[in-house]
Amino acid sequence: MEELPLSGIRVVDLTNVLAGPYCAYQLGLFGAEVVKVERPGRGDLARRLGADPELNAAGLGASFLAQNAGKKSVELDLKDPADRPAFEQLVKGADVLLENFRAGVLARIGYGWDRLRELNPRLVYCAISGFGQTGPMSAAPAYDQIIQGLSGMMSITGTKDTAPLRVGFPVCDTVGGLVAAVAITAALAGRGRTGRGCFLDLSMLEASMSAMGWPVSNYLVAGVEPEAMGDQNATAAPSGVFEASDGPVNIAANRQKQFEALCAVLARPDLVQDPRFADREARKRHRDALNEELNRVLRTRTAYEWEGLLSRAGVPAARILTVPQALALDQLRHRGFVTRLDFPDGSGRELGVVGNGVRIDGRPLRPASPPPLLGQHNDDHLLEDV
């Protein structure tokens, strides 16, 4: 198999739970060797998190299995003087050091950037934290939900009656991990020119607000405060969730041409001529009336039928699926999105893990091995191979 872009890069991963492990998982998919340093006897907290209590008790929680395939696990206690030389050997041979402790924790145990740079001037050190390493909130603890609330994200999720609502998955952890992976790859590219590493200080709050895009920029640029609009798209109409005969269907006729095509498929060309719906801004002002007219027709067919009819007419439309239904899509099967691995405990069970949607020269990115058992690679001479 051809080498992947990050082949030959070693990542020392000190992270726990999601943002950091997700970042390291992305780097591993692109070919990096990820050495996960875990607390002796306990490991990553995610080993005990997930929907299956038996797996949690075995240190193989679903939350851990989802983000750690392809990695190696060694047990080291950085506060134990006996383990510190081994950790320093790892740092000397690493390209990247990744951690998501509370701001300043690593420095307080003797491994601030000055010391790490002394051990390895080529090291790219990335610290993921809730608020960044500096500022009045830097020492505050933060989980995904805390960031969702502070970022304004929850205030615009739901309807006027139900907001604030939490997004249905840990989006701030995920975004933080993705931005960290981008920052690390950029730093590695820069190191290729200068020969020097650098310190990356990533704030999940800032990364999340950056990812929010239009709600933030509409306020900064136009002074318009965003509001919760439920399943409707604030930027266009008709765009949101509509009513098919068997349940909801997403339709996003954001452009004038798409609106006209939608009206043609629904046999309602009169709506195009209605002055209430003549252009985007008019349609946004009269959104409720327009949706009522459209739903009257949409209720006559199934969501699947409308998906086909509208998509063929160039109007973005699709059913609203459950997670199991989404995973069963032929499109994902065709793309090789899910990789099947042996369960790490040797039980013979099969483990499914997802990729990241990237193909390189036609090949999907896949982890090469199952998630590791705690300390599985303690005796693999990782500390000597520097």
By annotation, the residues acting in catalysis are: 173
Provide φ and ψ at 150, rounded to 5°: -70, -30
DSSP 367: -
- Taking residue 220's Cβ as centre, other Cβ atoms within 10 Å add up to 9
Angle, helices 171-194 vs 204-212, to 10°: value is 100
Packing angle, helices 171-194 and 19-29, rounded to 10: 50
The neighbouring-strand residues paired with 35 are: 12, 72
* 60 DSSP assignment: -
| DSSP-assigned beta bridge partners for residue 129 | 203
> H-type helices in the chain, by residue range?
19-29, 53-57, 62-67, 84-92, 105-108, 113-119, 144-150, 171-194, 204-212, 214-222, 256-265, 270-273, 280-285, 287-298, 303-312, 323-327, 330-335
